[in-house]
Structure 1
Amino acid sequence: MKKLILASIFPTLLFASAFTSTANAADYIVDYKGAHASVNFKIKHLGYSWLTGRFDKFSGSFSYDAADLSTAKIEMLVDTTSLNTNHAERDKHVRSDDFLDVGKFGSAKFVSAKITDKGNDKLEIKGLLTLHGVDKDIIIDAVKIGEGKDPWGGYRVGFSGTTKIALVDFGIPATLGPASAHVELELHIEGVRK
């Protein structure tokens, strides 16, 4: 049960994102309202299965220029009170001061520091994750899914990313055993050009 709770807590860290604009990059808003983006997580339950969940509320923006990824930036903000593992009692426990302590740390934030083009639409995103009151550098392995015009006259670009974080790195007790010491985060971001 505690492992399931911890799994729900960590994804919060990862998914606060908003890109800062640069001279040649286009600015995008993450399409949260259209449900074309998600911040998900999973953690092992006692080493026997995976517990999965998501954060229902988040926001973000980014700047992006396909010709020069060195100018790209992203910043995301995740509402940790919106943690959802489809189990009300577990969610309540994970939100408590035993884990995420959302009464004190109601949000998680990610701000990119450097985005590197790894070729074949693969990206390495280095940045600072603030979770449970702790700031720590993380790396997100990302891939560009696609970009182009949408049917409503807009322009969109989408990415997916994954990272793995240790609970103890963010001051969250790893009390569920070694199999549940890490949380894997999975991000799906679709941006609409401003």
Structure 2
Amino acid sequence: MAKTKWAIDTAHSSVEFSVKHMMIARVKGSFDNFSAAIEADPTDLTTANIEFNVDAASINTRNNDRDAHLRSADFFDAEKYPSLSFKSTKIVKTDDDEYEVTGDLTIRGVTRQETFTVTFEGQGKDPWGNEKAGFSAEGKINRSDYGLTWNAALETGGVLVGDQIKISLSIEAIKEA
């Protein structure tokens, strides 16, 4: 199959993350607004071009005060850096439907190379004749690498917010006409 253009069906996709809180539990959140420009043969991602953008202000942890703090200069500084972006630079097939996708991740004006495990979940037509493809992606980054260093020490030792962020994407893409 040839490379074709795909867009994200945001109604059937999600961008989620989790981080350790108080060194004992995980707090989960998501971003509500995101988009992508994808040129790919879904059955062979090794030649794909993937550009992904996330609206930093769309962060949602189900707590308004925490979300406001995460949008502030202490964390994402969403007013100054309105988007988080990823652009693929290298894709290696590691199993039948699995890939290591490496690219440039930019958060808060800092760009670093990161690798995510991407799984091709399948492809088919919806009831209206639209060609769809499903993907999932998992990865981990260190928030301090991107200048997200705010924290508070705990009386019992350790810190309030962990450094490692687990990222999880579930993507349903729609073939562009």
Map residues 91-170 of structure 1 onto 2, 5 A cutoff: 91-170=67-146
Q: Which runs of 5+ in 2 are unaligned?
A: 153-158
Structure-2 residue corresponding to 1:184 = 166
Shift of residue 178 of structure 1?
A: 8.6
Aligned pairs for 1:8-87 within 5 A: 24-32=2-10, 35-66=11-42, 68-87=44-63
In the TM superposition, residue 175 of structure 1 has moved relative to its aligned partner by: 2.1
In structure 2, relative to structure 1, the CA distance for the partners of 1:67 and 1:97 (3 Å cut) is closer
Between the aligned partners of 1:49 and 1:178, the Cα distance in structure 2 is: 10
The higher radius of gyration belongs to 2
Query: Structure 1 residues 162, 93: closer, same or farther in 2, change over 3 A?
Result: same
Give the TM-score taking structure 2 as reference length.
0.90
More strand by share: 2
TM-score, normalised on structure 1?
A: 0.83
Paired with 2:151 and 2:28, the residues of 1 have a C-alpha distance of: 18
* Greater helix content: 1
Aligned length: 170
The 3 A distance-change label for structure 1 pair 49 and 67 is closer
Partners of 1:77 and 1:184 lie apart in 2 by: 17
Task: Describe the SS at the equivalent of 1:72.
Answer: strand
Once the 2 structures are TM-superposed, how far is the Cα of residue 95 of structure 1 from its aligned partner? 0.8
Aligned-pair Cα RMSD in Å = 1.7
Identify if the C-alpha distance between structure 1 residues 47 and 115 changes in structure 2 by more than 3 Å, giving closer, same or farther.
Answer: same
SS at match of 1:69: strand
